[in-house]
Amino acid sequence: MCGIAGILSLKAMVVDTSMIQSMINAIAHRGPDAEGIWQENEIALGHRRLSIIDLSSAANQPFADNSGRYIVVFNGEIYNYNDVKKEINDYHFRTTSDTEVLVAAYAKWGADCLYHFRGMFGFAIWDKAEKELFLARDCFGVKPLYYFIDDEVFMFSSEIRSILASNKVKRKVSIPALYEYFSYQSVSSPYSVIEDVSQLEAGSWMRIKNGVISKKRYWDVSNPKSDLDFTNLDAVQKNIRSLLLQSVERRLVSDVPVASFLSGGIDSSAIVGLMSEVSSSKPNTFNISFEENEFNESKYAELVAKKFNTNHTNILLKPSSLLDELGNALNAIDRPSADGINTYVVSKAIRQKGISVALSGIGGDELFAGYPVFSQYLQLQNRKFFWKLPSGLRKIAASVLFSGSNKNNRIRQVLNAPSCSIEDLYPFFRQIFSPEQIAAFSSSLSTTDHITSVQKDLESRKQNIGSLPLLSRVSVAEYLGYTQNTLLKDTDQMGMAVALEIREPYFDQDLVEFVLNVPDKFKKPVYPKSLLVESLKPLLPDEIVFRKKQGFLFPWSIWLKNELRSFCNDHITNLSQRPFMNEKALLSYWQRFLSGDKEIRWAEIWVFVVLEHWLKKNEVG
Please report the beta strands in 50-161, taking only residues with DSSP state E, as ranges in sequence order. 63-64, 70-78, 119-127, 132-137, 146-149, 153-157
Tell the burial category of 484 from Cβ atoms under 10 Å away from its Cβ (0-12, 13-18, 19+): buried
With beta carbons less than 8 A apart as the criterion, state whether 268 and 532 touch: no
Query: Could you tell me which of 220, 218, 236, 217 has the C-alpha nearest to residue 228?
Result: 236
Tell the burial category of 238 from Cβ atoms under 10 Å away from its Cβ (0-12, 13-18, 19+): middle
Is the peptide bond between 538 and the residue preceding it cis, with omega within 30 degrees of 0?
yes
Question: What φ, ψ does residue 421 adopt, rounded to 5°?
Answer: -75, 160
Residue 562 CB contacts under 8 Å (≥ 6 apart), including other chains: none
Query: Could you tell me which of 110, 151, 155 has the C-alpha nearest to residue 10?
Result: 151
Q: Is 283 helix (H, G, I), strand (E, B) or coil?
A: coil
Q: Sheet of 204-209: strands edge to edge?
A: 63-64, 70-78, 119-127, 132-137, 204-209, 212-217
Active-site option among 2, 113, 420, 568: 2
CA atoms within 13 A on the CB side of 418: 7
Integer Cα distance of 56 and 110 in angstroms: 27
Instruction: Specify the DSSP class assigned to residue 194.
Output: B
User: Is residue 113 annotated as part of the catalytic site, yes or no?
Assistant: no
Task: Please work out, in degrees rounded to the nearest 5, the angle formed at the alpha carbon of residue 364 by the alpha carbons of 358 and 370.
Answer: 145
With beta carbons less than 8 A apart as the criterion, state whether 21 and 37 touch: yes
- The DSSP bridge pattern shows strands 63-64 and 119-127 to be unpaired
Integer Cα distance of 505 and 263 in angstroms: 16
Query: Dihedral of the CA atoms 398, 403, 405, 408 (nearest 10)?
Result: -10
Integer Cα distance of 183 and 462 in angstroms: 21
Integer Cα distance of 65 and 104 in angstroms: 6
Instruction: Specify the DSSP class assigned to residue 223.
Output: S
**Would residue 594 be called left, alpha or beta, if left means φ above 0 and alpha means ψ between -120 and 50 degrees?**
alpha
With beta carbons less than 8 A apart as the criterion, state whether 312 and 263 touch: no
With beta carbons less than 8 A apart as the criterion, state whether 424 and 473 touch: no
Tell how far CA 179 is from the center of its chain: 19
Residue 106 one-letter amino acid: Y
Query: 142 vs 342, 363, 439, 513, CA distance in Å?
Result: 18, 11, 32, 16
Question: What φ, ψ does residue 489 adopt, rounded to 5°?
Answer: -65, -40
Integer Cα distance of 55 and 58 in angstroms: 8
Tell the burial category of 305 from Cβ atoms under 10 Å away from its Cβ (0-12, 13-18, 19+): buried
Catalytic residues: 2
